[in-house]
Amino acid sequence: MAARALEAGATMLNDQWGLKQDSYLAELAAEKGVPIILMSNQRDKGGYDAGNRRDTGYYREVMTEVILSLRQSMELAIKLNVPRENIILDPGIGFGKTWQQDIEIIRHLRELKELDMPVLIGTSRKSLIKMVLNLPADERVEGTAATVAIGIANGADIVRVHDVKEMVRVCRMSDAIVRGIYQ
């Protein structure tokens, strides 16, 4: 499917398992010279059983796991000849983590910069917004905007969204404030 998508004009690949299920996508990305997004996904471990804990150890545990997971994925991709400049890392908001952990990841996103790769977040309409604002998916634009703006302020380089027009504006404003980029 991924090979056919590239043949049809796709310009990058996305592996929600961070190469932990199958390394084929890295091999394909290397062969075709396209970027690959590697996600930290704790679903393969059954996720976290964290309840509503908010202590420092709880935050440390999730960030340590996400960084370790992304480092392993990145190293495997490089071993499989994906150029460093074609690797994008995604902490996997909503994938095997509690909504509280997702919030902590956004709050501490800057820590992923130690991996020296572009960071992508996909928070659009996610359940963490539902849990905080108690809104159905089609009414989470403002919540998404908040996570996008704060994500950019905390180091996100790329965002994946549903409401493109609105989030482009949020990104442009955030980039102007955070990075001094005026378009």
Could you tell me which residues come within 8 angstroms of residue 130 by beta carbon, excluding any fewer than 6 positions away?
99, 136, 137, 140
Q: Token pair of 21, please?
A: 């299920």
pLDDT at site 29: 97
Q: What count of Cα atoms within 13 Å lies in the side-chain half-sphere of residue 25? A: 23
pLDDT at site 43: 74
**Per-residue tens of pLDDT for the chain, all 183 residues:** 999 999 999 999 999 999 999 899 999 999 999 999 999 998 765 554 444 444 445 556 899 999 999 999 999 999 999 999 999 999 999 998 999 999 999 999 999 999 999 999 999 999 999 999 999 999 999 999 999 999 999 999 999 999 999 999 999 999 999 999 887
Domains observed in the chain: 11-179 (3.20.20.20)
pLDDT at site 24: 95
Q: How far is CA 146 from CA 37, 51, 106, 125, 166, in A?
A: 23, 24, 11, 11, 12
Partnered with residue 90 across adjacent β-strands are 39
| Helical H segments across 51-110, by residue range | 56-79, 99-107
Could you tell me which residues come within 8 angstroms of residue 83 by beta carbon, excluding any fewer than 6 positions away?
30, 33
Model pTM greater than 0.85?
yes
| Helix pair angle (164-179, 141-153), 10° resolution | 30
Q: What is the pLDDT of residues 140-182, one digit of tens each?
A: 999 999 999 999 999 999 999 999 999 999 999 999 999 998 8
pLDDT at site 46: 52
pLDDT at site 49: 46
The residue with tokens 């075709």 is 32
Q: How far is CA 151 from CA 75, 109, 110, 111, in A?
A: 24, 7, 9, 12
